[in-house]
Structure 1
């Protein structure tokens, strides 16, 4: 982890030396602690761990690291962090006068915490800043990927639109919708058959299961088609709804109906799909607003332009 360029105060350095001297009683234990904490371990073997007293060893180590912070700055931070958070002194109970040794160690660590407080506040803020930056970068990355995929789907949409083959348009629309629902994590399922019924697809949105009917027939859909689709939903579990997609819209009767037989449906047309593919509204938001409108008013159609200006 890269740490802040803030200068480490001499008082904090001295407090670190003192803490390292007291948190372990033997030189070997201190050596293992340092070795397991830092990344650039070669420096451990450049220190005399036998002849000098423990404080001199800690002082020699920290002074060398401070003199080459271009190499050891992150290791210094690691030692600061481990020493500041040191709270298990039970190993000192093995030696004479354990209570005295433990108290000295606790006092040394507490003194280090006070001296290093400002330094760690700066480091923590830098860490939070880096984390926020990563979140923003990930969001930008995801947004860019979403835009790229929507652009691809929009091109497919235009290619389908110029086809004069109604069956080909219908199949292309089903495939496009499946890709769109996948993009928005709606767990789509391709067309399938249930005894006597053809279902164009299915997906899940906010705990509701939806069956899908998709048409591209160059003329508005009549109310009879809606009743037929609603009949397929009857008998399914209670929170099953239906999304009827008609690229060329719906008859006036369909748009104005508040029949209770059709309240399991919401309607989507070519303007809706265009608004999604051109990033004027997300599929999630569109479905949510249409479903809520149907629940509140009984009207199963809501023009996307009314959503965009509200």
Structure 2
């Protein structure tokens, strides 16, 4: 049996208050026992001291029921935490009452019945309160989760805005190696901001002798599929000779491997033809760095961008569809 004292209900409900007004006088055979009951329950003397003084001066002028009614009324109007604790202690003592042999014989059965009824009311109130608290806890947790989700999304948007600025700034960087190193970090952060799992760190494999400014190899996971990623930032358009090493690397992996090729410059017809032919063996998609930049500007999810490209590559055999 739970102790009445729901955090959200500061005062006795009417039904419970009426039962207490009937029960407590029966539990106290003598008038002096009423004051002793409240004192033992930790009730502040200011709630009953005037009644006790009247009883001391003229016992016949004071009745048990009127004292209990008035004290409980006063106590029930106390909106402080102290008043709440005192009301809980009174309930605790009444519902835990076990010895009825000390009561007047005619009052014993009445008192037992009232105590049992109070226990039922308290149990029902506690059950309702627990359900209410569980619902409110669930609602609070949902609100907090939503707030965290919104805060995380705001942080991601701010991060993507900064990435957009930094990637755009790379076009003004004259140092090839510096630009490649910066792009490596930026792409890792970019994919992570869209919850695209980066399975390997990107590594620079630039060959300046061949005009390559930056080449990044890595692996991403999109919808459970693994994609080997390569990026080139060439001085000229991407040709078949730039695509073929990437296609070979994908073919040399397990059959589950797929390929994503990203270029800062456009693709020649020969490069697109090679990627289209590679689709006969594995799924390959191609994208331009400008598409990623445009996705950031449009606040488009990169996963959705690549999903559309993958669908176009598989269904339309078009590895270089522009998805906007």
Aligned position for 2:311: 292
Give the secondary-structure state (helix, strand or coil) at the position aligned to 1:295: helix
Give the secondary-structure state (helix, strand or coil) at the position aligned to 1:185: coil
Aligned position for 1:40: none
Query: Which deviates more from structure 2 when the two are superposed, residues 64-73 or residues 164-173?
Result: 64-73
Shift of 1:261: 4.8
Correspondent of 1:139 among 134, 149, 154: 149
Correspondent of 2:14 among 7, 10, 20: 10
Matched, 1:230 2:247: yes
**Long gaps (5+) in structure 1:** 19-43, 49-58, 80-91, 93-102, 306-310
Aligned position for 2:191: 181
In structure 2, do the counterparts of structure 1 residues 191 and 147 end up closer, same or farther at CA, with 3 Å as the change threshold? closer
Shift of 1:73: 9.1
Aligned position for 1:211: 228
TM-score by length of 1: 0.61
Shift of 1:106: 8.8
Deviation per CA, 1:89-135: give whole Å up to 9, x if none. xxx9xxxxxxxxxx999976654465678777766665454344323
C-alpha distance in 1 between matches for 2:121 and 2:85? 20
Give the secondary-structure state (helix, strand or coil) at the position aligned to 1:278: helix
TM-score by length of 2: 0.58
Structure with larger Rg: 2
**Long gaps (5+) in structure 2:** 1-5, 23-39, 45-68, 90-97, 99-112, 206-214
In structure 2, do the counterparts of structure 1 residues 104 and 200 end up closer, same or farther at CA, with 3 Å as the change threshold? farther
C-alpha distance in 1 between matches for 2:309 and 2:178? 28
Shift of 1:236: 1.1
Matched, 1:190 2:201: yes
Query: Which deviates more from structure 2 when the two are superposed, residues 184-193 or residues 263-272?
Result: 184-193
Matched, 1:258 2:276: yes
C-alpha distance in 1 between matches for 2:84 and 2:308? 51
C-alpha distance in 2 between matches for 1:202 and 1:274? 20
C-alpha distance in 2 between matches for 1:241 and 1:74? 67
Give the secondary-structure state (helix, strand or coil) at the position aligned to 1:245: strand
Deviation per CA, 1:33-71: give whole Å up to 9, x if none. xxxxxxxxxxx98369xxxxxxxxxx9xx9898444442
C-alpha distance in 2 between matches for 1:163 and 1:302? 29
Correspondent of 2:288 among 269, 283, 287: 269
Deviation per CA, 1:111-164: give whole Å up to 9, x if none. 446567877776666545434432332122111110111122112112211123
Query: Which deviates more from structure 2 when the two are superposed, residues 159-168 or residues 281-290?
Result: 159-168
C-alpha distance in 1 between matches for 2:116 and 2:272? 76
Equivalent pair of 2:181/2:204 in contact (CA under 8 Å):
no
In structure 2, do the counterparts of structure 1 residues 243 and 105 end up closer, same or farther at CA, with 3 Å as the change threshold? farther
Equivalent pair of 1:247/1:269 in contact (CA under 8 Å):
yes
Aligned position for 1:85: none
Give the secondary-structure state (helix, strand or coil) at the position aligned to 1:210: strand
Matched, 1:221 2:231: no
Deviation per CA, 1:217-276: give whole Å up to 9, x if none. 243212332222010111212221121110223223444653235643211212321133
C-alpha distance in 2 between matches for 1:278 and 1:16? 68
Equivalent positions of 1:48-67 (< 5 A) are 66-67=76-77
Matched, 1:244 2:248: no
C-alpha distance in 1 between matches for 2:322 and 2:135? 47
Aligned position for 1:96: none
Equivalent pair of 1:265/1:300 in contact (CA under 8 Å):
yes
